[in-house]
Structure formats: structure tokens, C-alpha cells
Amino acid sequence: MKVTVVGTGYVGLVTGACLAQVGNQVLCVDVDADKVARLRAGEVPIHEPDLPAIVQEGIASGHLRFTTDIAEGVTHGDFLFIAVGTPPDEDGSADLRHVLAVAGDIGKHLQRPVTVINKSTVPIGTAQKVRTGIALALQERATDIAFDVVANPEFLKEGAAVADFMKPDRIIIGTDDGAAAERMRALYAPFNRNHDRLIVMDPPSAELTKYAANVMLATKISLMNELAGLAERMGADIEQVRRGIGADPRIGHAFIYPGCGYGGSCFPKDVRALEYNARQYDFDAPLLAAVEKVNNRQKGLLEQKVVRALGEDLTGKTIAVWGLAFKPNTDDMREAPSRVLMEALWRRGAHVQAFDPAAMDEARRLYGGQCALQLCPDPYVACKEADALVICTEWQQFRSPDFARMRSLLRQSLVVDGRNIYDPTTVRAEGFTYHAIGRP
């Protein structure tokens, strides 16, 4: 099939590469000429396991191409994916300018019937706005060409996006048109073989499903973090509590790990966007506000633990930080707890020595001018002469370190574990003062 994907960000590039992997003719469109040139050379600008390989395979086979020409993209595709960004405005609403601009471009260049698929994360009612935008552009051309608009939200986890696309747990199709649903079923057939994962619903329900999924997961995280705060004060161990409640199949083990807060491009933005949508419909949604409030408070917890151990004034102190990305297997530092921690430490006069397996370039981009930050080549160099080690991201390579080497390098044997990756008894037996989340 001929597929066009407008936008080569995280969602667009994964979508295009995976659709090309199964044999479709995919053309990805982006306004950034430099990015398009890099992609044509097989250079993937984001850290995502398995993605570089399938992008390079798609280019080599001729199934995956890149262009800056939106007219070429509209002309090429029978399926036109909109996968551009919807950044949050200051009031929390999703900015739809890029989505609606693409809708106008489609209407401006459309030559034959197509299926337009909105893959961007958008508020409820956006499918109708896209439909209206295309129709108005066609009307200006005095042209009547049939088209469908389908809401098809993505459910890709950073660090596992290729696997999530190739073996999805569900494929949500939002349309009121049976023929459009069947075309989407045919497009997704290679990913829908073992059992039927395709769920068809109306467009507003599909759009809300995306927000509801992320808000549900964010709520589980914030609830566990709130319980962790209670556990610390009550002398309970939140890790034992987690195992106890996770054994209940109605709760399960996923997303009940306490820590230093969630970050990334999805959870924070989507919680705020749904909260904003609720206000637009005059609906009071206090739980959504509470989820964000608890998460923001949790991100400040690591600073509090360092201050309680070392004092309010950290001038002359050096803090080692392991993990800068908001989660493992990505270089994404958007709204990462590490950023809240480091910026708080700098305000108190501390120097930071940091290491992350993937996010060092992103840290340089964000904080290249920060003289109180030293980016280190490995985690042990980061520990050298540091007064404390703080763990912000649960990368696998941090889970079984050489504790004796750590202790010999640190100026003070203080570990603040923001992800509860160590057993307190083991770490304390190695001679460390150990502070975790929700553990006595």
C-alpha cells in the first residue's frame, strides 16, 4: 500500500519505518530539511532500540523514503498519517496548529480519494476539526474529492516502540464509516494476525481512549508515590506493600513502582490536556489535578533527601547523578526528574557530576552553558570525590554495581536511590548510608 506519514518525530518515524518493514511504500514528510537529509542517510535522530536498523533496511529496500515536499506526500499516499507534534500551551491545552496546518495542506493538494489518519495525540473533537480543515481547503479550490478522517491514537512506549508497533496489544480505530474501518483493517493486517487486536469505535471515543490510558497509568504512579510517603512516616516498606497489592489481579504489578516521579513527552502533557478539556466542558476533575500535584511534589523529594543528609547550603558539595533520561532505553529528558533535581542542587550551590548511557548529548544541548555540571564518561567517574550519589533512572547497568569501588570513590558513602533499585540491607552492609523511596 502507498502510505504517507507527515511528521518524522518519535511517533511518525516509528510508524513510517514499521509500515515500510512489512512491505508498504512509505513516504515520510517533514519541514526540517536537515532532519530529512540525515534520515535519508540512515541517521536516526532519536535513541530508540531497533529503530535505526529498520529505518536503514527500509531505505535500502526502497520501501521508505523521506521528503520535505508536502505536495509530493499528499500525491503519493492512499493513507495519509498526521503525526506532527501537539505541544502544550501554558494553560495545558494541546496546540493543534501543526495538525490543522497539515489538514489544510492535504485539502490544498488532494487529487484523489484518500484515508486521512490522525496519529497525533489530540483533544476530543479533533477528527472533526481535521475534516473541516480539509473540506474548507477543497472548497477554496472548488473541488469535491471524497476522503475519510480516522482517529488512530498511538500507544508506543519509549524504549519499546518498535516492539509495541509490530506486536500491539490493541489497535484503536475511530471512525463512523464501515468502509474506512475495513481499509484500516487491511492496512494493519500484518500486525493483527494471532488474534484480532483491532477495536473500532467512534472518533471522540478513540481520542478519549488515548488520554484515558495515559492518565490511568499516571494515576497509578502518583497513588503509589503518595502511599510511599505514608510508608516512610509509618515505618512500613513500600516495596513489600507493592508486592502485596500487586498479587491482586485486579491491581497487577505494572506501574505500581514508587519512585521520584514520572516525566517524558506523554504523561505530563496528557494529564494537563485532559484536565483542560474537562474545564472546557464545565466538568470538575479534581483527581486529574491531584495526579499532577503529587507528581510535581515527588520530583522535589530527591532534593529534600540530599538536603536532610548534607544541609541546606550545598556550596562546595559535589553530587553524583546516575541517570538523566526520564526512563531507561531513551535519551528523552523532557520533564525528567533529573532536571528538577539538578536545577535545585545548582540553586543551593552544589556541583553535579552526571552520567547517563544515552542522554549525554541531550544534557549537553539543554545545559551546555552550566559550569556547575560535569558530564562523565562512566558512572564511576561521576562518583569521584562526590558527597552523595543520587539515582534518577533505573538503567540496567546501575542495578549491580561494584559497591566497594563506589565507596572508595565517594567522599561520603551516601546513596539516595530515587528508583528503589537496591536492597537496603545489602547496600547498608556495604557501608553506605542509604535513602530510598517509601522504605524505612
Q: Which residues does the annotation mark as catalytic? A: 266
Distance CA 105, CA 45 (A): 26
- Cα–Cα distance for residue pair 103/304, rounded to 1 Å: 47
CB of 79 closer than 8 Å to CB of 113: no
Residue 310 burial by Cβ neighbours in a 10 Å radius (0-12, 13-18, 19+): middle
Question: Around Cβ 43, how many Cβ atoms within 10 Å?
Answer: 12
Helix, strand and coil in the chain, % to nearest 5: 45, 15, 40
What's the CA gap between 316 and 72, in Å, rounded?
A: 58
* In contact, 93 and 126? CB cutoff 8 Å: no
Among candidates 150, 125, 175, 131, which has minimal Cα distance to 281?
125
Number of H helices, E strands in the chain: 18, 14
**167: helix, strand or coil:** coil
Adjacent-strand bridge partners of 116: 80, 149
